[in-house]
Amino acid sequence: MENDVFKTNPVFQNLSPEKLSFLMNFANSKKPTEMKDMMPFLLGTLSSAKKQNIQFTKPETELMISILKQSMSPEEAEKADKIIRLMKERSGQSQ
């Protein structure tokens, strides 16, 4: 995913410089290619952000998940989608 999405998507146009930098670094980082590694990687990333006093909105978190899935095979991305759907259903969120 190109970093231009942060500049062109209205959801991301008002990001603080710190959050924009964090997301761009995330987008450019080496990411796991298997579903079993995605959640620990994402949770570690979110923990790192929290230590820097950076919090993400739902659209920003969904973008991060989308970026992670790009490095996965279609089968692994499908597994990720299923798990995310189950998590949303259990927490009562809509898709």
Whether residue 54 is contained in a domain is answered as: yes
Which pLDDT score, from 0 to 100, does residue 1 have?
46
* pTM passes above 0.85: no
Which pLDDT score, from 0 to 100, does residue 3 have?
60
Whether residue 30 is contained in a domain is answered as: no
Domain containing 11 equals: 5-21+35-91
Q: Which element (helix H / strand E) includes 15?
A: none
Which pLDDT score, from 0 to 100, does residue 54 have?
94
Whether residue 26 is contained in a domain is answered as: no
Whether residue 86 is contained in a domain is answered as: yes
Long-range contacts of 5-9 (CB under 8 A, 24+ apart): 5/63
How confident is the chain (95 residues) per 10-residue block, as mean pLDDT? 66 83 88 86 91 90 85 89 85 62
Whether residue 52 is contained in a domain is answered as: yes
Whether residue 45 is contained in a domain is answered as: yes
Whether residue 43 is contained in a domain is answered as: yes
> Considering its fold, how many domains does the chain have in total?
1
